[in-house]
Amino acid sequence: MEDTEIKLIATDMDGTLVNDAKEVPASFASWVLNHPDQQMVIASGRPYYTNEKLFDEIKDHLIFIGDNGGVIYQQGKFLAKAGITPEEAAFCLDLFAGEPLANPILCGASQAICHDPAGDQNFLKQLDTYYIKRRYVEDLRAEVASDEMIKFTVYIEGGAAEGIYRQL
CATH number for the domain including 152?
3.30.1240.10
CA dist., res. 89 & res. 152, Å (int): 7
Domain count for the chain, please give it.
2
The backbone torsions φ and ψ at residue 135, rounded to the nearest 5 degrees and listed phi first, read: -135, 135
Both 112 and 65 in one domain: the answer is: no
- Per the DSSP assignment, residues forming a β-bridge with 43 are 65
pLDDT in tens, 19-76: 888 889 999 999 999 999 999 999 999 999 999 999 999 999 999 999 999 999 999 9
The C-alpha atoms of residue 51 and residue 24 are separated, in whole angstroms, by 11
Q: 96 and 72: one domain?
A: no
- The verdict on 91 and 75 lying in the same domain is no
pTM for this one?
0.88
CATH number of 58's domain:
3.40.50.1000
The percentage of residues in the chain with a pLDDT greater than 90, rounded to a whole number, is 82
Question: What is the residue range of 55's domain?
Answer: 3-81
Backbone angles phi, psi at 129, to 5 degrees: -75, -45
**Could you tell me if 72 and 109 lie in one domain?**
no
CB 32 within 8 A of CB 63: no
